[in-house]
């Protein structure tokens, strides 16, 4: 970490985001703070040539994010107000009422919407500068890109910040637990990897009662209950496929999934 980055982290450790009674900004604050502490995101959003299709008086989510990052760096205030970011979120999703002012919302959906907004802005900017027929399809981007499902189906070149930092190419491959046969990999990509808290909580609670992992167990036992191992167990609990070669070999073995 550079001296500059270390200084920014030290400075921001003493700053918070306001969440007054009735505002219900907690879901938004955790995303803003997480993105601020991600060095690559902070640098890109601060240094990017942010060109949008809005007029001076329009509300822009990315402009508001960039502004509050500036406050993080230079303001003497100990508590920063995320109000403008909240308003921009509300305006962006006014048709769905997802981020209605004063209402609780979901942090994952908030990050999803921020990444989608970055992607939409990149697509529109590219459409403005498109000069050939190949790029003509970008002139009218989808009116709403509020989920990463829509993001991953729409190309951006050069990559927007959301794709550049968060997109992952993944595959699922099914493996027979008895004969070892494997399926062809199923490729997919996304900007978010969703794991539900209730699933993690249930698994960790069960593990805590059956092992001494949280009481100084051996390194081998700890590895078996690492975060990676927990995720692998969770997605295999939902896997109910039979052996990939069962049609040819009649193998009755259970199927596991490698991701």
My answer on whether 138 and 176 are in the same domain is no
My answer on whether 183 and 158 are in the same domain is no
My answer on whether 87 and 119 are in the same domain is yes
Identify the pLDDT of residue 153.
Answer: 61
Identify the pLDDT of residue 183.
Answer: 84
Q: Answer yes or no: is pLDDT of 250 > 50.
A: yes
Identify the pLDDT of residue 104.
Answer: 93
- Convert the pLDDT of each residue in 201-221 to its tens digit: 666 666 555 554 445 555 555
My answer on whether 48 and 152 are in the same domain is yes
Last residue of a domain, one of 134, 166, 198: 166
Percent pLDDT > 70 in the chain is 62
My answer on whether 152 and 174 are in the same domain is no
Q: Answer yes or no: is pLDDT of 178 > 50.
A: yes
Identify the pLDDT of residue 259.
Answer: 73
Contact 86, 32 (CB under 8 A): no
Task: Average the pLDDT over 52-68 and give the result.
Answer: 74
Name which residue leads in pLDDT, 137 or 115: 115
My answer on whether 32 and 102 are in the same domain is yes
Q: Is the peptide bond before 76 cis (omega within 30 degrees of 0)?
A: no
Scanning the structure block, which residue is given the tokens 């700053």? Answer: 15
Please write down the long-range contacts of 166-174, taking CB distance under 8 Å and 24 or more positions apart. 166/115, 166/191, 166/192, 167/191, 168/193, 170/259, 171/259, 172/257, 172/258, 172/259, 173/257, 173/258, 173/259, 174/239, 174/241, 174/244, 174/255, 174/256, 174/257, 174/258
H-assigned helices in 145-225: 148-152, 161-166, 197-210, 219-224
Q: Answer yes or no: is pLDDT of 184 > 80.
A: yes
My answer on whether 148 and 248 are in the same domain is no
Last residue of a domain, one of 166, 186, 220: 166
Identify the pLDDT of residue 252.
Answer: 82
My answer on whether 81 and 46 are in the same domain is yes
- Convert the pLDDT of each residue in 78-110 to its tens digit: 999 999 999 999 988 877 788 899 999 999 899
Q: Answer yes or no: is pLDDT of 253 > 90.
A: no
Q: Answer yes or no: is pLDDT of 193 > 60.
A: yes
Q: Answer yes or no: is pLDDT of 146 > 50.
A: no
The pTM assigned to this predicted structure is 0.70
Last residue of a domain, one of 138, 166, 194: 166
Name which residue leads in pLDDT, 175 or 82: 82
Q: Answer yes or no: is pLDDT of 140 > 70.
A: no
Identify the pLDDT of residue 135.
Answer: 47
My answer on whether 108 and 217 are in the same domain is no
Task: Average the pLDDT over 129-152 and give the result.
Answer: 47
* Host domain of residue 124: 3-166
My answer on whether 128 and 247 are in the same domain is no
| Structural domain count, the chain | 2
Task: Average the pLDDT over 176-189 and give the result.
Answer: 83
Task: Average the pLDDT over 172-178 and give the result.
Answer: 84
Task: Average the pLDDT over 22-34 and give the result.
Answer: 95
Q: Answer yes or no: is pLDDT of 144 > 80.
A: no
Identify the pLDDT of residue 240.
Answer: 65
Name which residue leads in pLDDT, 221 or 47: 47
My answer on whether 44 and 101 are in the same domain is yes
Name which residue leads in pLDDT, 141 or 10: 10
My answer on whether 20 and 117 are in the same domain is yes
Identify the pLDDT of residue 141.
Answer: 43
């Amino acid at each position: 970490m550079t001296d500059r980055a270390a200084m920014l982290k030290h400075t921001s450790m003493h700053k918070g985001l306001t969440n007054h009674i009735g505002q219900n900004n907690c879901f938004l604050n955790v995303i803003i703070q997480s993105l601020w502490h991600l060095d690559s995101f902070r640098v890109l959003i601060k240094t990017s040539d942010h060109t949008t299709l809005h007029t001076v008086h329009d509300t822009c989510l990315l402009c508001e994010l960039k502004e509050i990052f500036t406050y993080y760096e230079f303001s003497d205030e100990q508590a920063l107000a995320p109000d403008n970011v909240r308003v921009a979120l509300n305006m962006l999703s006014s048709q769905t009422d997802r981020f209605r002012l004063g209402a609780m919302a979901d942090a994952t959906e908030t990050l999803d919407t921020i990444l989608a907004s970055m992607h939409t802005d990149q697509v529109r900017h590219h459409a403005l500068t498109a000069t050939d027929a190949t790029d003509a399809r970008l002139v009218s981007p989808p009116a709403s890109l509020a989920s990463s499902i829509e993001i991953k189906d729409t190309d951006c070149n050069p990559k927007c910040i959301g794709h550049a930092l968060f997109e992952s190419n993944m595959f699922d491959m099914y493996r027979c637990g008895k004969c070892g046969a494997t399926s062809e990999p199923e490729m997919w990509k996304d900007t978010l990897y969703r794991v539900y808290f209730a699933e993690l909580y249930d698994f960790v609670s069960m593990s805590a009662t059956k092992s001494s992992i949280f009481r100084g167990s051996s390194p081998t036992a700890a590895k078996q209950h690492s975060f990676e191992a927990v995720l692998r167990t969770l997605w295999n609990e939902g896997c109910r496929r039979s052996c990939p070669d069962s049609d040819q070999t009649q193998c009755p073995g259970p199927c596991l999934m490698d991701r």
